[in-house]
A and B are shown apart, each in its own frame.
Chain A
Amino acid sequence: MRTHGLFSDSGQSIVEFAMALPFLVLMAVGTFAVGIIIDRHLTVGQVVRNGGNMYARGIKFDSTQNKQLLIDSGPGLDFQLTGGRTAVHLSLLTRVPATAICDDGSGPQPCANQDQIVIVQRYGIGDTVSATSNMSSRLGTPTTFVNGSEGDVDNYFDEPTAVANGAPAVLTNGATGLLEDEFVYVIEVIHRPESIAFQGIFAPEYMYARAFF
């Protein structure tokens, strides 16, 4: 027997739905957020593979065209020549000989970066000059270049900022790491997701991927 008036149950389903709605919305937002983040991770991986292959095979990223070709391989990352939400750092590393001698005009003396892993070349694309350090290269940031603000690093035998302080153990470990006269090409891709609502809840604040060739 249906009840009426004060004891009617006609609004029960609406109340139940109203209680369930926040959880449903949260689940929907979470599903899409996770999907977007997975997509971004895959795209970051695509940029790492593309850029790393090209860089290690001798393509110089000193021209707008070559940078744009790499940018085109990362759709959806807000990846631009300058600015945007993605930064790419391309670095060429080597180890300075332990017996290297330098002469800055005051006579021969041991080089300041003896037996250190140094950055010989650096190209940057995208938001590489962001105020936030998380968009910077994890290897180090050379400041002196032969020409302009990127390309071959000037005087990397002596220049303190050329030292790759952030080089991983696989490169720094004695005999099994990077040796004198050996070179390694490194590409680092850093992406900053744009969604404020998702940051810290469903998504990392930054995505970082790198590859060595």
Chain B
Amino acid sequence: MVFVLLTMFIVGAFEFSWALFLRATFHHAVREGVRYALTGTVNGSGLDQEIKEVIGNNSFGILDQAALDEHVSVEFFDPTCPGFACGAGGAADPKIAPAEAGSIIRVGINCYDIVPVTALISKDDTGARKPLTLTVTASDKMEPFPGGPPSRGALANPTACD
């Protein structure tokens, strides 16, 4: 009995630490992604794909290409919008808005699930363990680029929260 409880405690502590580590790592990664978008140069693959690459390079290998495609979002907002969720450049949806100078960019890692081994009491209707879901974002104001807004290329289209 003591062994079981101690094992649960130790494994739980590791899992808890892993969740904290992931969140801190993802915070760092999205901030690097935003910073790249503000100051980096476009190498031809489009801004969204380059941001994903930067996030992947700053996530200690946790996010591979499939995970980046599934979880990473890139949006551009009109900062003068009186309401909520106005796309930059008059676009209806920030997800497809142009990367205009002066707009607010938001980069996110969305709905990344961690399924803890020790969460035996937290189950959904099907009996499966409920995951701990992480979503982190970072935002900043876009700088002007020589020659106009950079091309976004293939748009980030995360499916994890669908």
Contacts and interface: CB of A to CB of B under 8 A. Distances in A.
Given A35-B16, A50-B138, A72-B106, A42 B82 contact: no
Secondary structure at chain B's binding surface: helix, strand, loop or mixed? mixed
Contacts of A32: 13, 16
A24 B85 CA distance: 48
Interface residues of A, number: 30
A173 interface: no
A39 B20 contact: yes
B6 to A, nearest CB: 8
A88 B91 CA distance: 30
A155 B48 CA distance: 45
B104 interface: yes
Contacts of B5: 24
Contact of B81 (A49, A50, A65, A73): A65
Nearest to A51: B139
A17 B2 contact: yes
Interface stretch (B23-31, B50-58, B59-67, B119-127): B23-31
A68 B84 CA distance: 8
Interface string B76-115: 0101111111100000000000000000101010000000
Contact-residue size bin, chain B (C-beta under 8 Å from the other chain): 20 to 34
Interface in A37-88: 38-39, 42-43, 46, 49-50, 53-54, 57-60, 63-66, 68-70, 72-73, 75
B9 interface: yes
Contacts of B80: 63
A42 B139 contact: no
B7 interface: no
A175 interface: no
Contacts of B84: 64-65, 68
B137 interface: yes
A28 interface: yes
A2 B1 CA distance: 23
Contacts of A70: 139
B69 interface: no
A69 B77 contact: yes
A17 B2 CA distance: 7
Interface string A1-31: 0000000000001000100000010001001
Interface string B120-152: 000000000000001111111100000000000
Given A53-B140, A57-B140, A75-B136, A65 B106 contact: no
B31 A64 contact: no
Interface of A: 13, 17, 24, 28, 31-32, 35, 38-39, 42-43, 46, 49-50, 53-54, 57-60, 63-66, 68-70, 72-73, 75
